[in-house]
Structure 1
Amino acid sequence: MFDTMTFTKIAGSFCGALLILLLGKWAADALFYTGSHGGVQSYVIDTGEGEPEPEVAEVPFAEVLASADIGEGAKVFRKCSACHKAEAGANATGPYLHGVVGRAVDSATGFTSYSGALEEVAEVWTPENLNEFLINPKGYAPGTSMGFNGLPKVEDRANVIAYLDSLDD
């Protein structure tokens, strides 16, 4: 069944396939390897490694709040208006925010769907408490029913707080 000639043909075909594979690898390396061309890469992707991140001076929130723009706060409040109303007593999915600055936590008249998580972290909605809450509501008060991700920019938070504070004079 297997004679010497059949075995030689099988061994020769494996050697030929291996030779084609090695020649293909050599050709691909010569074609695509940039180190063998002696040139510089035409496009370098900056990964940021090796460059120190510039230090940003942390400005106190009171200074940012002092320079807040109420008009910009009204624009940013549009994100909040999906669940909150700015009119007194007009509850929606969330409680109304008229007069929220300086108001006791969980005390909006007529709103009964509080989760109770806010009472554990604050007593009164001071500008500082609102700032911390608006950074990441679920991180500030775990268990809160507020599904908003937060406002990452300190200027946006200050503008919204100034706008909310201006609603009730």
Structure 2
Amino acid sequence: MFDTMVITKAVGAICATFLFFLVGKWAAETIYMPAHGDHAAAVYPLPTEGDDHGAAEAAPAEEIDVDALYASADAAAGEALWRNCRSCHSLEGANGTGPHLDGVVGRAIDAVDGFNYSGALLQVGDTWTVENLFHFLEDPRSAAPGTRMSFRGLRDPQDRVNLIKYLEEHPA
């Protein structure tokens, strides 16, 4: 049953398997590992105990004058940004996945009848003021932890005020 040829094939298969893994390891190290050598530095140095220069101090966030920025807002540019919102919201008074946004500027935060709010939005404030909308639109998940809104936010402050200006031009 076991002759020399069967044993040779089995040993060859084992050697081929090891060779396959060896070539795979070499390829992975070449692609993903930094260069080796004495002068090669780590790509992302990890801080160790007593190592102060590894943990950088977080810079304080720059204060933005929302009112001054809002004075220069362009509603036409905000209309182009509306495409991010219209998949869940409308401006015609009908609720979708999210509440309708016509007349949102100056409206109470949980004022849309027939929409089931998550309750997390009450952390933002009582009214959707320009400043509340400005901070909420930057990152909805951090402004109202626990909100069901999945929008990732608008990082550019000018984009945020443009969108708010566009929404303000659509009263209820």
Alignment TM-score, normalising by the size of structure 1? 0.63
* 2:141 corresponding residue in structure 1: 138
Query: What are the ranges of 5 or more consecutive residues in structure 2 without an aligned counterpart?
Result: 1-61
Q: Deviations over 1:13-66 (max 9, x none)?
A: xxxxxxxxxxxxxxxxxxxxxxxxxxxxxxxxxxxxxxxxxxxx8651111111
Deviation at residue 109 of structure 1 after TM alignment = 2.2
Residues 1:59 and 1:116: Cα distance change in structure 2 (over 3 Å): closer
Q: Deviations over 1:71-107 (max 9, x none)?
A: 111110110111110112x100000000000000111
The structure 1 segments of at least 4 consecutive aligned residues displaced by more than 4 Å after TM superposition are: none
* Count of residues in correspondence between the two structures: 111
Q: Superposition pairs for residues 55-66 of structure 1, below 5 Å?
A: 59-66=64-71
Q: Superposition pairs for residues 16-55 of structure 1, below 5 Å?
A: none
Query: What are the ranges of 5 or more consecutive residues in structure 1 without an aligned counterpart?
Result: 1-56
Deviation at residue 133 of structure 1 after TM alignment = 0.3
Q: Which amino acid aligns with 2:87?
A: A
* 2:101 corresponding residue in structure 1: 97
Residues 1:66 and 1:96: Cα distance change in structure 2 (over 3 Å): same
Q: Which amino acid aligns with 2:167?
A: L
* 2:150 corresponding residue in structure 1: 147
Deviation at residue 168 of structure 1 after TM alignment = 1.1
Question: Larger radius of gyration, structure 1 or 2?
Answer: 1
Deviation at residue 120 of structure 1 after TM alignment = 2.7
Matching of residue 163 in structure 1 with residue 172 in structure 2: no
* 1:82 corresponding residue in structure 2: 87
Q: Superposition pairs for residues 117-132 of structure 1, below 5 Å?
A: 117-132=120-135
Q: Deviations over 1:112-150 (max 9, x none)?
A: 2x1000113311000000000001000000000000110
How many Å separate the matches in 2 of 1:111 and 1:59?
32
Alignment TM-score, normalising by the size of structure 2? 0.61
How many Å separate the matches in 1 of 2:64 and 2:132?
17
How many Å separate the matches in 1 of 2:121 and 2:81?
23
Residues 1:146 and 1:62: Cα distance change in structure 2 (over 3 Å): same
Of all paired residues, the percent bearing the same amino acid is 49
